Chain A
Amino acid sequence: MNRKTLTIALLAAMLAVMSSAYGMVEGLSGPNFVLGAKAGYISTPEGGSIYTWGFSNGAASMQYPGPTLIVNEGDVVTVTLSNELPVPVSVVFPGQTGVVAEEISAPTAAGTLTLEAGAPTSDPVVAGGTVKYTFTASHPGTYMYHSGTHMDLQIPMGLVGALIVRPVSEGKAVMGHAYHSMDSMYDDEFLFLMTEMDPNINSLVEQGRMDEVDTAAFFPVVWFLNGRCAPDTMGESFVEWLPTQPYNCMPMMQPGQRVLMRLVGAGHDSHPFHYHGNHAKVIAKDGRLLSSAPENGADLGTALFTIQTGPGETYDAIWTWTGEKLGWDIYGHSPDDPLMPNEYAPDHGKPIPVTLPDNKDLAFGAMWSGSPYLGVQGELPPGEATMGVAGSYFYMWHSHTEKEMVNNDVFPGGMMTMMMVMPPDGGGMPMKSAAE
């Protein structure tokens, strides 16, 4: 990636900070969803355009991943799937019980996993089939849905999406909780849906050369978080220049906040999702709290700095950050200054333990605000601009299978984004939290 692309990406990241409401995962509210299975194209930042099969929100174009379906515990969820692809397709919901599939309109056929919506035909002209899937979302948690037909082809082609079930107490969704446990409380939640593609397979499918596809030879060269490769992960959601990839993956927080990471292994491969800045406590897997007994919270969870997310698995983890153990005051306070909210008090007023170099001895990264202190804009030499306008800190979050941090051999890219630690006042930026 050249400097210009990076600049554009970082500008996009900045725009995301400035204009998007965050704190909650974006998606469709349930409990009734109408999905299409359609073909389209996605973009990769090195200039690629990949033929993709995806789920759509009703009549809209396909998207990658499919719409994030958000429902409440206890909802009777219906997903009505209409097929516009040239092959039969279906939806399965791992972790859900009692899923009932019924034909709404022919053609349909019994598949290996569930009832499939048949493909449309051109001679005679017959529309594709429609199948309705119904289940009760009986457990809160992070889940996925994906094609249950020829999964070894249709999942890598893009027919995946996330499903989030929010806990309900006394008839109301409990906001700011992932599960029925204080250990699952969060201020901000972010989705990390991991997939990858082997564009050779997509290309063969696009050309109708299905007989030449060998899914056992799958060899991905592009890797995605929420359907985007870095640096597009850090752009804003719903930008018109990524019409089929609506969701960004831009985690942001303020010191002391609890961040819920919803990890979804939606693709073909296993990915060691690695986050800088702090360890995170894993509280749930496959939509079940890691708990020895309901009164014990997530007592079976462990703190990790890399979560190996296998295909089909989901994990929930709580991450937080205050600057603890840095050994110096992230705000550059004097000892007499008041504490900032959630400041790590033992380091209050401690100076940064190095002599800060003069600007003439520095090379300038695009995110450098001119100051090592959180929320502070420092002096920059003439001609240097910064994307770090809020004086934020940035931690790279990425797949630690580092070859997955490229787009078709171009670094940086792939399964990578930045956690942006904002100053407590947001540095003048709008800051919304799920707890509000």
Chain B
Amino acid sequence: MKTKMITRMLLMGLAAVGLLYGQASAVEFNLVAGTTTVNLPGIGDVTMWGFGLEGGPITVPGPALTVPPGESLRINLTNNLPGDNPVSLMILGQAMPTDGESASPQVVRNPDGRIRSFVHETANGESGVYEWANIKPGTYLYQSATHPAVQVQMGLYGGLINNAGENEAYAGVTYDDSTLLIYSEIDPALHAAVENETYGTEAYPSTIDYAPKYFLINGVPYTEGLDNFRTFEVGEKVLVRFVNAGLQTHMPVLMGMDLSLVAEDGNLYPYSKIQYSVPLPAGKTVDALVTPAVAGQFPIVDRALSLTNGGSQPGGMLTYLKVDPAD
């Protein structure tokens, strides 16, 4: 996000919530939930629901949101989803958001009493406010809090980053460069059922029948010939932020270098953990540092073996840290 845009949003945010939070400054984002497609090898376009910044494209994952150090957060959410599908927002590991008016978060129940949404909803065609008075430093997953078994799988998630300081993820954990890796899966049958409004029928009774066929990092499955590289330089201290927005456990393994795991779920470890594997269950975030000593291409491969694109290989959750010689 450009500085100018941040400034504009800061001003808007101050105008909107300045009274509520006194002198605390808030960063403000205008998010839209809507429909998009992702093109998958072998089967073409699959309907997704995703987030986008107002005026920008709807993407899966949604835009990575960076909350500047020390600021609170306000998101104005517009619901452009099809049909009668309310939507909402929460951030795993942060307090539940309020609507800017109520003092506490409000759950939404179905007529039978079951909770449908962990926080207040925004109806189709409407806009809603989601406010967090305090944001804890770390790497987080934001996602829909409404019918998450369907809506998260449909693509309503993204990464959220709050640093303790400039290039400082947590107190004392500094870095030169960083990359955000969001893991997720797609079961095309679920998406077809949602699109055809047959989800919850015999065609696809529930997510308990979830059987993903595609395995994505940042919304893209590994495909030969694509640019699958994240480029750094020898000697750079790189922060890799691992986030699992999917429903399965993955095990990213970095080949050829040790990772130093420094935090999990936005909580700093008392000591870093030196290992090449990153256990990454659903909803987990892990922050890891690596400082390449030599140039080369270092694969990050899912050792839980989600390495197929609908049955064809190679594919799935594979990317590379490409390390160039230092300037």
Show the binding face of A for B, using Cβ within 8 Å. Answer: 92, 94-99, 112-113, 148, 150-153, 155-156, 211, 213-218, 268-270, 285-286, 288, 290, 292, 300, 310-313
Residue of B211, B222, B255, B279 ringed by the most chain A CB atoms within 10 A = B255
Q: Evaluate contact between B301 and A98: CB separation under 8 angstroms.
A: no
| Contact status of A288 and B275, CB under 8 A, knowing A151-B307, A153-B313 | yes
**Min C-beta distance of A1 to chain B, whole Å:** 30
Contacts of A148 in B (CB 8 A): 255
In the assembled complex, the Cα of A41 lies from the Cα of B275 at a distance in Å of 34
- Residue interface bits B221-260, CB-to-A below 8 A is 1, else 0: 0101000000000000000000000000101010111100
| Known pairs A150-B314, A311-B303 / 7 extra A-B pairs, C-beta < 8 Å | A94-B277, A152-B306, A218-B305, A310-B249, A310-B304, A312-B253, A313-B279
| Contact status of A112 and B294, CB under 8 A, knowing A216-B308, A311-B304, A311-B305 | no
The answer to the question of B165 belonging to the interface, with a C-beta cut-off of 8 Å to chain A, is: no
Contacts of A288 in B (CB 8 A): 258, 274-275
A-B contact pairs, 16 of them (CB 8 A): A94-B276, A94-B303, A112-B299, A150-B314, A151-B305, A152-B305, A214-B213, A214-B308, A215-B307, A216-B311, A270-B249, A270-B304, A288-B258, A300-B271, A312-B277, A313-B277
In the assembled complex, the Cα of A112 lies from the Cα of B316 at a distance in Å of 12
Contact of A98 among B222, B258, B294, B305 (CB under 8 A): B294
Q: Evaluate contact between A152 and B313: CB separation under 8 angstroms.
A: yes
- Residue interface bits B286-327, CB-to-A below 8 A is 1, else 0: 000000001000010101111110110110101000000000
**Min C-beta distance of B30 to chain A, whole Å:** 37
In the assembled complex, the Cα of A148 lies from the Cα of B203 at a distance in Å of 38
Q: Evaluate contact between B251 and A311: CB separation under 8 angstroms.
A: yes
Q: Evaluate contact between A286 and B211: CB separation under 8 angstroms.
A: no
The 3 closest A-B pairs by CB, nearest first: A312-B303, A286-B275, A152-B307
Shortest Cβ distance from B254 into A: residue: A94
Contact of A113 among B224, B255, B271, B275 (CB under 8 A): B255
In the assembled complex, the Cα of A170 lies from the Cα of B168 at a distance in Å of 41
**Min C-beta distance of B204 to chain A, whole Å:** 17
In the assembled complex, the Cα of A151 lies from the Cα of B256 at a distance in Å of 17
Contacts of A216 in B (CB 8 A): 211-213, 215, 306, 308, 310-311
**Min C-beta distance of B262 to chain A, whole Å:** 14
Contacts of A292 in B (CB 8 A): 271
In the assembled complex, the Cα of A218 lies from the Cα of B279 at a distance in Å of 20
Contacts of A269 in B (CB 8 A): 304
**Min C-beta distance of B92 to chain A, whole Å:** 21
The answer to the question of B109 belonging to the interface, with a C-beta cut-off of 8 Å to chain A, is: no
**Min C-beta distance of A150 to chain B, whole Å:** 5
The answer to the question of B273 belonging to the interface, with a C-beta cut-off of 8 Å to chain A, is: yes
Show the binding face of B for A, using Cβ within 8 Å. Answer: 211-213, 215, 222, 224, 249, 251, 253, 255-258, 271, 273-277, 279, 294, 299, 301, 303-308, 310-311, 313-314, 316, 318
Contacts of B256 in A (CB 8 A): 96-99
Q: Evaluate contact between B301 and A313: CB separation under 8 angstroms.
A: no
**Min C-beta distance of B247 to chain A, whole Å:** 13
In the assembled complex, the Cα of A423 lies from the Cα of B106 at a distance in Å of 64
Q: Evaluate contact between B273 and A285: CB separation under 8 angstroms.
A: yes
Q: Evaluate contact between B308 and A310: CB separation under 8 angstroms.
A: no
Contact of A268 among B279, B305, B310, B318 (CB under 8 A): B305
Contact of A310 among B213, B274, B279 (CB under 8 A): B279
Contacts of A151 in B (CB 8 A): 301, 303, 305, 307
Contacts of A96 in B (CB 8 A): 256
**Min C-beta distance of A412 to chain B, whole Å:** 27
| Contact status of A286 and B314, CB under 8 A, knowing A152-B306, A310-B251 | no
In the assembled complex, the Cα of A312 lies from the Cα of B215 at a distance in Å of 18
Q: Evaluate contact between A313 and B251: CB separation under 8 angstroms.
A: yes
In the assembled complex, the Cα of A195 lies from the Cα of B67 at a distance in Å of 43
In the assembled complex, the Cα of A29 lies from the Cα of B307 at a distance in Å of 33
Q: Evaluate contact between B311 and A213: CB separation under 8 angstroms.
A: yes
Shortest Cβ distance from A313 into B: residue: B277
Q: Evaluate contact between B255 and A285: CB separation under 8 angstroms.
A: no
Q: Evaluate contact between A94 and B316: CB separation under 8 angstroms.
A: no
Contacts of B276 in A (CB 8 A): 94-95, 286, 312
Shortest Cβ distance from A212 into B: residue: B311
In the assembled complex, the Cα of A311 lies from the Cα of B281 at a distance in Å of 12
In the assembled complex, the Cα of A152 lies from the Cα of B213 at a distance in Å of 13
In the assembled complex, the Cα of A214 lies from the Cα of B224 at a distance in Å of 19
In the assembled complex, the Cα of A339 lies from the Cα of B28 at a distance in Å of 74
In the assembled complex, the Cα of A134 lies from the Cα of B138 at a distance in Å of 39
Contacts of A152 in B (CB 8 A): 305-308, 313, 316
Contacts of A286 in B (CB 8 A): 274-277
Q: Evaluate contact between B255 and A215: CB separation under 8 angstroms.
A: no
Contacts of B314 in A (CB 8 A): 112, 150
**Min C-beta distance of A392 to chain B, whole Å:** 36
Contacts of A112 in B (CB 8 A): 222, 224, 299, 301, 314, 318
Contact of B313 among A98, A150, A268 (CB under 8 A): A150
Shortest Cβ distance from A144 into B: residue: B303
Q: Evaluate contact between A94 and B305: CB separation under 8 angstroms.
A: no
Contacts of B251 in A (CB 8 A): 270, 310-313
Q: Evaluate contact between B277 and A310: CB separation under 8 angstroms.
A: yes
Q: Evaluate contact between A268 and B304: CB separation under 8 angstroms.
A: yes
| Contact status of A94 and B211, CB under 8 A, knowing A152-B306, A214-B311, A313-B277 | no
Q: Evaluate contact between A215 and B305: CB separation under 8 angstroms.
A: yes
**Min C-beta distance of B321 to chain A, whole Å:** 13
**Min C-beta distance of A69 to chain B, whole Å:** 18
Q: Evaluate contact between B253 and A94: CB separation under 8 angstroms.
A: yes
Contacts of B258 in A (CB 8 A): 95, 97, 288
Contacts of B299 in A (CB 8 A): 112-113
In the assembled complex, the Cα of A286 lies from the Cα of B271 at a distance in Å of 16
In the assembled complex, the Cα of A99 lies from the Cα of B212 at a distance in Å of 34
Contacts of B310 in A (CB 8 A): 214, 216
Shortest Cβ distance from A96 into B: residue: B256
In the assembled complex, the Cα of A156 lies from the Cα of B276 at a distance in Å of 21
In the assembled complex, the Cα of A213 lies from the Cα of B276 at a distance in Å of 29
Q: Evaluate contact between B313 and A113: CB separation under 8 angstroms.
A: no
Contacts of A213 in B (CB 8 A): 311
**Min C-beta distance of A135 to chain B, whole Å:** 9
Residue of B249, B251, B275, B301 ringed by the most chain A CB atoms within 10 A = B275
Residue of A216, A311, A313 ringed by the most chain B CB atoms within 10 A = A216
Shortest Cβ distance from B213 into A: residue: A216
In the assembled complex, the Cα of A338 lies from the Cα of B276 at a distance in Å of 50
